[in-house]
Structure 1
Amino acid sequence: MREQTVEIIRSAGVVGAGGAGLPTHVKANATVDTVLVNGASCEPLLMSDPYLMEAHADTMIRGLKAVMACTGAARGIICLKGKHAKAMASVREAVSRDTSGQLEVFELKDFYPAGDEHVLVYEVLGKTVPEGGIPLQIGAVVSNVETLFNIALAMEGTPVTHRYVTVSGEVKKHMVVKVPVGTLVSDVIAFAGGPTINAYEVVDGGPMMGRVLPDTGRPVTKTTSGLLVLPPDHTVVARKIMDPERVRKITTSICCQCSHCTDLCPRNLLGHSLRPHKLMRAFNGDIATSSVAREALLCSECGLCEKFACPMMVSPRELNAQIKQILRKEGMRWEGTGEQPKPHAFRGSRHVPTGRLIKRLNLVQYDTHPDYAGEFTPDKVQIPLAQHIGAPAGCVVKAGDKVQQGDVIGEIPDQAMGARVHASISGVVESVADGMVTIKAC
Structure 2
Amino acid sequence: MLARNFLQLSNIAIRGLTLVSKFLLIFFLARFLEPAELGVYGLLVATVGYSLYLLGFDFYTYSTRELLKRKRQEWGGLLKAQGALILILYAIFLPPLSLIFINDLLPMSVFGWFFVLLILEHINQELGRLLVAVSEQLCASLVLFLRSGLWAVLVAGLMFYRPDMRNLDVVFAAWTLGGLAALVLGVLRVRSMGLSGWRQQIDWVWIIKGLKVALALLVATLAIRGVFTLDRYWFQELAGLEVLGAYVLFMGISMALMSFLDAGIFAFIYPGLISAYQQKNEVGFRRGMLKLMLQTVCLSGAFALIALLVIGPLLAWLDKPLYSEQQGLFIWILLATVLYAIGMIPHYGLYAQGRDRPIIYSHVVSLIVFVLATWSFAQHWPHLAVPLGLCVSFFCVLCWKSWSFHRLTPAPYRLFQS
Normalising by structure 2, what TM-score? 0.27
Normalising by structure 1, what TM-score? 0.26
Name the structure where strand makes up a greater proportion of residues.
1
- Which of 1 and 2 has higher RCO (CA within 8 Å, sep 6+)? 2
